[in-house]
Amino acid sequence: MNSESRIDPKIIEEMLKFTKNVMDAPKLVSAPDEISLEVTPHDIVHELDKTRLLHYRPLTEKQHKTPLLISYALINRYHILDIQPEKSWVRNLLLQGFDLYMLDWGSPTSMDKYLDFDDYVNGYLDSAVEHIKNESSNEKISIQGYCTGGTIATAYAALHPESVKNYIATAPVIDGWRDTTVISNLAKHMDVDKMVDIIGNMPPEFMYYCFSVLKPFEQGIEKYVKFFKNIDNKKYVDNFLRVEKWLGDTPPIPGELFKQWIKDIYQDNLLIQNKMYVGGERIDLKKIDMPTFTQIAVGDHLVSPVCSMPLHYAIGSEDKTLRMYPTGHVGMIASSLSQKKVLPELGKWLAERS
Amino acid sequence: MSSKPQALTSTGPMRAFATNSKKITTELIEINEDLMGFNEYLTEYYKQLASAWEVAQKKVNLKAPDVPQDVEQIETFKRIWIDIFDNDFTELFDSKKFGANYGKLVSKELELTKHWNNITNVILQSANLPSKEEMDEVYKEMHSLKKRVGKLELELKKKEMSKK
């Protein structure tokens, strides 16, 4: 009896409220297909195979002369950079007067299992750059690469320095041996030849597994508890669902590209040693001689800061900047911190060189 | 001298049936062997998870020994529980022993998939449809052709530019 009387009635109240919120959720929450992740207006200006080049419509009267192309990661899709107006990387850059393009890698199918690094670097990315150069009448453009897209852009900047005016590397995967993340640990023990031989492309389910072991209790329990507690908060729910939809939309990675990725970056660590070959050409990071801005998130649990940082020291550029931010991998590109600190610093740096 | 059942399978459609049955049976036997290996690594996988859980729970009990009595205490307890469990499980997932076992587990799973693919190929070929390997060859050829066309287009473009 005594122990019963010690229970705070508020606990019961909270539990009942939580149960009610769970029951009400289906009525209050939109279905994923009702949520559109295409926020900022844009035009599709170029297509090659399944890739698309998006050109965002300007939000300022005057624009900087040099266009900026974003090479997004191969995991998940580019929508996180424009997930909602207040946290949009894209919108912020447009408001700072940049002429902005985004390369959407599309969703590869079984047919694309032989696409490799060469196709992505010297094919798709190069084709997008050439298109922008022609459309904007510029001989060089600025490129930003994020995460795995940063690795592709790094390879491109080293192989085609004549086309890159400024290079921005945002949490790029560079030094695989230094990476201390769970993903790197799994990658190092993976029989990638067997995987690609038997199943072709790297399936999204495997990526979902990798995500599920990153902060499993915070992400697997607490996140959803918070969601149900805030079910009446329309803005919170909308933001949550957008991010959830984005998280659930991971395209497969072409088998050959994935194989080279795991072997050359995580297992043999060839890129940072200037021993990696793409399309028969060796990637020499010293050839990255254009102004370069490297952005790193201190709390990144997908790409360790020590995995990205070596890029800054390995490149040949004399005009190079390294910035570290007290946030995580996604927080760096889609948070209030990115709006208040990361983007203004990037914009200032880029404007001076555009 | 062949016995009648053997003679029956040596010619005509029954021959193909017999060959296919043998291939499928072989695959099924191998699946059973690989399934044993898979179960071994799966058991180790869950053993590692259970052990990490046990250690983390003990840490939580030491840090928060009292049963929470109000909403605030529940929140504090939850925070402690999540932090300790996340730390301990991340440590496990980062460890070499987890990575090695997980790699072997996935490898065995792939072996099982390979057997399934082989069985499917037998069925596809018996229906006169292309197997996975044959389709892969087509994809490879298409990829190589696309690359060649791309290079030729680029060369052509360069020639046109130099003429101008």
The pLDDT tens digits of the residues spanning B68-91 come to 778 888 888 989 999 999 999 999
Q: Searching chain B, which residue's CA lies closest to the CA of residue A12?
A: B71
How close does chain B come to A303, measured CA to CA in Å? 13
Q: Tell me: pLDDT of A33 over 90.
A: no
Q: Which 3 state secondary structure label does DSSP give A146?
A: strand
Is A191 in contact with B99 (Cβ distance < 8 A)? no
DSSP A77: -
| pLDDT classification of A34: cutoffs 50, 70, 90 | confident
Is some CB atom of chain A closer than 8 A to the CB atom of B15? Answer: no
The band of A3, judged by pLDDT with boundaries at 50, 70 and 90, is very low
Residue A40: pLDDT above 50? yes
N- to C-terminal Cα separation, chain A: 74
| Strand A164-170 relative to strand A320-325, pairing | unpaired
Residues of chain A with C-beta less than 8 angstroms from the C-beta of B139: 110-114
Task: Evaluate if residue A333 carries a pLDDT over 50.
Answer: yes
Mind listing the pLDDT tens digit for each residue in A238-274?
888 888 888 888 899 999 999 999 999 999 999 999 9
B142 and A113: CB-CB below 8 Å? no
The alpha carbon of residue B24 is apart from the nearest alpha carbon of chain A, in Å, by: 18
Residues of B numbered 65-104 whose beta carbons fall under 8 angstroms of chain A's beta carbons: which are they?
69-71, 74, 78, 81-82, 85-86, 89-90, 93-96, 98-100, 102-103
Phi, psi of A321 (to 5 degrees): -130, 140
Contact yes or no for A114 and B81 at CB 8 A: no
Contacts of A180 in chain B (CB under 8 A): 94
Cross-chain residue pair B113–A198, CB shorter than 8 Å: yes
Of A69, A144, A156, A108, residue with least CA distance to A258 = A108
- Of B69, B98, B135, Cβ closest to residue A8: B69
Q: Among partner residues A112, A195, A217, which is closest to B110 by beta-carbon distance?
A: A195
The proportion of chain A whose per-residue pLDDT surpasses 70, expressed as a percent, equals 98
pLDDT at residue A139 tops 60:
yes
**Strand, helix or coil at A157?**
helix
Q: Which of residues 135-194 of A touch B (CB under 8 A)?
A: 180-182, 185-186, 188-191, 194
pLDDT, position B11: 64
Q: What is the mean pLDDT of chain A?
A: 91
pLDDT for B3 equals 61
Q: Answer whether A199 touches B (CB < 8 Å).
A: yes
Which CATH superfamily, name and number, covers A31-203+252-352?
Alpha/Beta hydrolase fold, catalytic domain (3.40.50.1820)
Distance CA A153, CA A146 (A): 8
Residues of A in contact with B114 (CB under 8 A): 198
Closest-CA distance of chain B to residue A200, Å: 9
Contact A222 B96 (CB under 8 A): no
Q: Give the closest-approach CA distance of B118 to chain A in angstroms.
A: 10
Q: Phi and psi dihedrals of A227, rounded to 5? A: -60, -50
Residue B10: band (very low, low, confident or very high) from pLDDT cuts 50, 70, 90 = low
How distant is the Cα of A71 from the closest Cα of chain B, in angstroms?
21
Question: Is pLDDT of A38 > 80?
Answer: no
DSSP code per residue over A258-306: HHHIIIIIIIS-TTTTT--EETTEE--GGG--S-EEEEEETT-SSS-HH
Q: Which residues pair with A167 in a beta bridge?
A: A143, A292
Per-residue model confidence as pLDDT tens digits over A47-105: 999 999 999 999 999 999 999 999 999 988 999 999 888 889 999 999 999 999 999 99
Q: What is the mean pLDDT of residues A300-325?
A: 95
| Chain A residue closest in CA terms to B132 | A198
pLDDT value of residue B126? 83
Instruction: Give the per-residue pLDDT at A1.
Output: 43
Confidence category of residue B151, pLDDT binned at 50, 70, 90: confident
Span A128-151, average pLDDT: 95
B113-120 long-range Cβ contacts below 8 angstroms, 24+ apart:
B113/A198, B113/A199, B114/A198, B115/B27, B115/B28, B115/B30, B115/B31, B115/B34, B116/B31, B117/A198, B118/B23, B118/B27, B119/B23, B119/B24, B119/B27, B119/B28
Rg (CA), chain A: 22
Domain range annotation of chain A: 31-203+252-352
SS3 A211: helix
- Could you give the dihedral angle defined by the CA atoms of residues A223, A226, A232 and A234, in that order, rounded to the nearest 10 degrees? -40
Angle between helices B71-94 and B96-126 (to 10 degrees): 70
Q: How many residues does chain B have?
A: 164
Interchain contact, A182 vs B82, CB within 8 Å? no
Looking at beta carbons, which residues of chain B come within 8 Å of A217? 81-82, 85-86, 89
Active site residues of A: 147, 300, 329
Q: How confident is the model at residue A5 (pLDDT cuts 50, 70, 90)?
A: low
**Residue B9's pLDDT band (boundaries 50, 70, 90)?**
low
Helix ranges (DSSP H) in chain A: 2-6, 9-28, 89-95, 117-118, 126-136, 148-159, 182-188, 192-199, 204-212, 216-217, 223-229, 234-247, 255-260, 305-308, 310-314, 336-337, 343-352
CB-side neighbour CA atoms (13 Å) of B8:
6
Write the CB contacts of B77 (distance below 8 Å, at least 6 apart in sequence): B64, B68
As a whole number of angstroms, the distance between CA A158 and CA A316 comes to 10
- Cβ distance B100 to A189 less than 8 Å, yes or no, reads yes
| pLDDT exceeds cutoff 80 at B114 | yes
Most confident of A186-200, A309-323, B53-67, B139-153: A309-323
